[in-house]
């Protein structure tokens, strides 16, 4: 038996082992869903014991607030100051820490999950730990992320007009988090694509586009190379497209073609859909066209609730220096308030942010200015209408 044959046998053994790992992964995910479901039921039972007449008249909706890591704390502080200035009628469930150390490594705080299950809505800063973020997504069933990419009037960019949504998968594809060493010097990662996950994504994409009066959906893929995985992602999109053909135009494009079109003619994009890693690339491209990642708001979607957050990394190198751009966090807060039917407050904050960009030259360092985060935040507060 030569070396190539031995390597081939070893590869088959590793692949079989990886398949067993995926079965265990989906089983653990099912257990997590069941635990989370039971947790939510327990919380619901607690609240059923209190009748509406027993609740104080001043009781207000509560939002889970997660500082995150790096610059997250400063961005959250900016959001809280603006919300306080305009007197948004909500209360916070505050989490300065979001992770714990367990036998299996870093994990999401059980108290944080309880709060999210109870409140159904959260807003967070960026997480440094990839494994911790993946666990939060799986345990809270956050299967998709929506980035709202739109030019801000007054913020100059070298590209054209942009007003699009980018919706990407968060738990499958390359971000399944399953990888291993085949033999020394040879690594392998598994790209997971399930019919169930693809169906769920397709239904959400078309329902959300219809609800928000979007007219065109473009799916970015590489099914010419990855026929099984990307093909599985595409099939339910085609089925849903047939149901909405009178209202929504549907097209399929290779990822590289979509990237080129995004740079050349961004105004032609409406809703872009992709699996996890493809969508991440498209999101940061679109955010850069806006002027920078810190400008772009978004939210994670799941059947158990929503978590709002800007498109920005932890940027630990500038954490605590008061130079981070809080715009994306403020606009994520606007999206959250609209979801909570607090449109009056959302309009005020959105108008104030727009006024700063349109009528002043106050810009943070990432946009070529010299303003500090606190100065930008104060100017937004000054632009808010007086109560």
Nearest to 47 by CA among 66, 32, 62, 31: 62
Does residue 13 fall inside a structural domain? no
- List the structure tokens of 64: 């889970």
Say whether both 260 and 320 belong to one domain.
no
Indicate which CATH number applies to the domain containing 229. 3.40.718.10
Last residue of a domain, one of 290, 309, 331: 290
Q: What is the DSSP letter of 89?
A: S
Say whether both 175 and 274 belong to one domain.
yes
Does residue 34 fall inside a structural domain? no
Say whether both 222 and 115 belong to one domain.
no
- Residues paired with residue 123 on neighbouring β-strands, in sequence order: 65, 308
User: Could you tell me the pTM of the whole model?
Assistant: 0.83
Last residue of a domain, one of 243, 266, 290: 290
Tell me what pLDDT residue 12 has: 53
Pair 233, 201: CB distance under 8 Å: yes
Say whether both 239 and 317 belong to one domain.
no
Q: How far apart are CA 321 and CA 213, in angstroms?
A: 41
Nearest to 319 by CA among 52, 68, 49: 68
Three-class secondary structure of residue 362 per DSSP: coil
Does residue 20 fall inside a structural domain? no
Say whether both 313 and 284 belong to one domain.
no
Last residue of a domain, one of 232, 264, 290: 290
Of all residues in the chain, the percent with pLDDT exceeding 70 is 84
Three-class secondary structure of residue 360 per DSSP: coil
Does residue 65 fall inside a structural domain? yes
Say whether both 72 and 99 belong to one domain.
yes
Q: How far apart are CA 256 and CA 221, in angstroms?
A: 9
For the chain, how big is the Rg over CA atoms in Å? 22
Give the tens place of pLDDT for each residue, 98-107.
Answer: 877 776 677 8
Nearest to 318 by CA among 355, 281, 365: 365
Give the tens place of pLDDT for each residue, 59-104.
Answer: 899 999 999 899 999 999 999 999 999 999 999 999 988 877 776 6
Tell me what pLDDT residue 298 has: 97
Say whether both 120 and 170 belong to one domain.
no
State how far Cα 118 lies from the chain centre.
20
Tell me what pLDDT residue 17 has: 52
- List the structure tokens of 238: 């085609």
Does residue 166 fall inside a structural domain? yes
Q: Is the pLDDT of residue 22 over 60?
A: no
Q: What is the DSSP letter of 385?
A: P
Does residue 84 fall inside a structural domain? yes
Give the tens place of pLDDT for each residue, 212-271.
Answer: 999 999 999 999 999 999 999 999 999 999 999 999 999 999 999 999 999 999 999 999
Q: Is the pLDDT of residue 344 over 90?
A: yes
Q: What distances in angstroms separate CA 279 from CA 8, 71, 170, 172, 205, one per listed residue?
A: 33, 23, 9, 12, 13
Give the pLDDT band of residue 355 (cuts 50, 70, 90). Answer: very high
Number of domains present in the structure of the chain:
2
Q: Is the pLDDT of residue 31 over 60?
A: no
Q: How far apart are CA 59 and CA 47, in angstroms?
A: 13
Say whether both 189 and 274 belong to one domain.
yes
Q: Is 185 exposed, middle or buried (0-12, 13-18, 19+ CB in 10 A)?
A: exposed
Q: Is 1 exposed, middle or buried (0-12, 13-18, 19+ CB in 10 A)?
A: exposed
Does residue 238 fall inside a structural domain? yes
Q: Is the pLDDT of residue 329 over 90?
A: yes
Q: What distances in angstroms separate CA 336 from CA 149, 262, 306, 318, 346, one per listed residue?
A: 16, 27, 9, 27, 8
Domain of residue 367: give its range.
61-142+296-387
Q: Regarding beta strands 173-183 and 186-192, do their DSSP bridges make them parallel or antiparallel, or are they unpaired? A: antiparallel
Mean pLDDT of the chain, nearest integer: 86
Q: Is the pLDDT of residue 327 over 90?
A: yes
Pair 307, 336: CB distance under 8 Å: no
Say whether both 313 and 248 belong to one domain.
no
Say whether both 210 and 260 belong to one domain.
yes
Say whether both 262 and 168 belong to one domain.
yes
Does residue 273 fall inside a structural domain? yes
Say whether both 284 and 319 belong to one domain.
no
Tell me what pLDDT residue 133 has: 85
């Amino acid at each position: 038996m030569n070396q190539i044959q031995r390597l081939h046998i070893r590869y088959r053994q590793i692949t079989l082992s990886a398949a067993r790992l995926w079965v265990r992964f989906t089983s653990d995910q099912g257990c997590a869903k069941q635990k989370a479901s039971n947790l939510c039921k327990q919380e619901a039972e607690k609240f059923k014991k209190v009748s509406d007449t027993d609740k104080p008249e001043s009781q207000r909706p509560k939002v889970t607030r997660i500082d995150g890591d790096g610059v997250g704390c400063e961005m959250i502080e900016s959001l809280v100051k603006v919300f306080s200035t305009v007197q948004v009628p909500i209360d916070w469930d505050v989490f300065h820490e979001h992770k714990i150390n367990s036998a299996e490594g870093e994990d999401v705080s059980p108290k944080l999950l309880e709060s999210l299950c109870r409140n159904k809505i959260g807003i967070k800063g960026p997480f440094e730990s990839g494994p911790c973020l993946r666990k939060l997504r799986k345990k809270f069933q956050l299967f998709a992320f929506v980035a709202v990419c739109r030019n801000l009037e007054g913020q100059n960019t070298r590209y054209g007009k942009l007003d699009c949504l980018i919706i990407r998968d968060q738990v499958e594809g390359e971000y399944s988090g399953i990888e291993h060493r085949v033999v020394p010097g040879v690594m392998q990662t598994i790209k997971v694509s399930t019919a169930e996950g693809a169906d769920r994504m397709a239904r959400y994409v078309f329902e959300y586009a219809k609800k928000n009066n979007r007219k065109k959906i473009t799916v970015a893929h590489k099914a010419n190379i990855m026929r099984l995985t990307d093909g599985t992602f595409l099939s339910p999109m085609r089925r849903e497209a047939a149901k909405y053909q009178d209202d929504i135009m549907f097209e399929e494009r290779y990822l590289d073609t979509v990237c080129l079109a995004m740079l050349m003619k961004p105004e032609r994009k409406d809703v872009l859909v992709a699996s996890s890693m493809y969508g991440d690339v498209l999101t940061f491209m679109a955010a850069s066209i806006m002027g920078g990642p810190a400008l772009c708001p978004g939210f994670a979607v799941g059947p158990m609730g929503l978590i709002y957050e800007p498109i920005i990394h932890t940027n630990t190198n500038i954490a605590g220096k008061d130079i981070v751009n809080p715009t994306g966090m403020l606009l994520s807060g606007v999206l959250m308030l609209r979801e909570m039917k607090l449109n009056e407050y959302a309009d005020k904050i959105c108008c104030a942010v727009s006024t700063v960009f349109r009528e002043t030259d106050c810009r943070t360092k990432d946009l070529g200015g010299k303003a500090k985060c606190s100065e930008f935040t104060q100017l937004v507060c000054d632009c808010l209408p007086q109560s």
